[in-house]
Amino acid sequence: MLWPVVFEFEAELWIWDARRDDSWTFVSVPTDLSEEIRELADGPPRRGFGSVRVRVTIGRSTWATSIFPDSGRKAYVLPIKRAVRRSEGIEAGDTATVTLELVDVQ
């Protein structure tokens, strides 16, 4: 595998029901890409909650964060920071083009 590993996809922003008051907004990584990421991230070191460190770009905004496995969706989910949503003029229900680069995956 050549590094860096970068994925690009489109996904709809959604609000996490359990924390609706806090406006936790996410996109789901497509299941086929999630499976590929799971294979690449399998093995040590494991991070909290099974998370994988990533660098993300949406529009002109780039930031470092983690994606988290969501067993209900059978995919990783990516939190979209409020500052990014404001800067890019996006909100829950909108579709964004996401560039996701894996960080620290062996």
Give me the pLDDT at residue 2, please: 53
How many Å apart are CA 41 and CA 22, to the nearest integer? 29
Longest dimension (CA), the chain: 41
Percentage of residues of the chain with pLDDT beyond 70: 85
Q: Which whole number is the average pLDDT over 52-57?
A: 96
Give me the pLDDT at residue 98, please: 98
Domain ranges of the chain: 6-102
Q: Name the architecture of domain 6-102.
A: Beta Barrel (2.40)
Residue 53 · residue 40 · CB < 8 Å: no
Question: For the whole model, what pTM was predicted?
Answer: 0.86
Q: How does residue 22 score in pLDDT terms, banded at 50, 70 and 90?
A: low
β-pairing, 14-15 vs 61-70, is unpaired
